[in-house]
Amino acid sequence: MTTPQTELQEDQQPPAREPVFNIPGIVVALIAVCVGTFLVQEYVLGPEQQWMLLRDFAFIPLRYTGPYTLEITAFTTPVTYSFLHGGIGHLVVNMIWLAAFGSPLAGRIGMLRFLIFWVVAAGFSVLLHFLVHPGDATPVVGASGAISGMMGAAARYGFKIDRSRRIPRFNGPILSFRQALGSRMVVTFLLVWFVINLVIGIASAASGGMQTIAWEAHIGGLLAGFLLIRLFDTQRY
């Protein structure tokens, strides 16, 4: 039995609060790894140790075509490079895009499949870069390839996100290739994305600076996500 007083108190109960952070734990963990690695690289390691870090963890095409004996790093760097970054701006931009595109993808396919997706997208990213620059000695670093894969996957969902859940997730069936390429939104996104990456890549190469944008790697990652996302999503509609 309830009294009018208790009924009034129940009516005055505050509504459930929306979560302050709606980023999946696996995305938060990957951001923490990237940020932590960058902080150690910049503020703990000395110049020689930083060089050794790049040598052993960055992706270097020449490692596979030069006069070198393949070591364990030849099999690990196609993934470990994605946790290194070349500067604070590089890191911040990538982490913003990781939160934006990684959150709904992780919410859709789950933690384990998301991790495997990261590995596959990162690997295909540097595979295309290697095919274009097989003898290049410049280290490739950054999560951009894996994140580009998430953008490619987002296109196959038509960028539809269900925000009614605590963790947002891509919603609806995966579009077929014909449906995706028949969508004005998807095609516009892909065209703008390709043009921006091409312009930035060419501009960075023409500038002659120490750091250039590995835009071919971005394309490799995007294609991997666009073409392979169905292998990671078991939901049927």
What pLDDT was estimated at residue 96?
Answer: 97
The tokens describing 179, both together, are 């449906």
Quote the CA–CA distance of 204 and 208 in Å, as a whole number: 7
Q: Model pTM? A: 0.88
Q: Please give the Cα distance from 143 to 190 (Å, whole number).
A: 19
State the architecture of 23-231 in CATH terms: Up-down Bundle (1.20)
All structural domains of the chain with their residue ranges: 23-231
Q: What is the Cβ-side half-sphere exposure of residue 104, based on CA atoms within 13 angstroms?
A: 23
Give average pLDDT by consecutive 10-residue segment, the chain, 237 residues: 40 43 92 98 95 95 81 92 95 97 97 98 97 93 97 97 91 96 96 91 69 86 97 86
CB-CB contact of 116 with 232 (8 Å)? yes
Q: How far is it, in rounded angstroms, from Cα 52 to Cα 98?
A: 27
Q: Give me the sign of the Cα torsion angle 125, 60, 99, 196.
A: negative
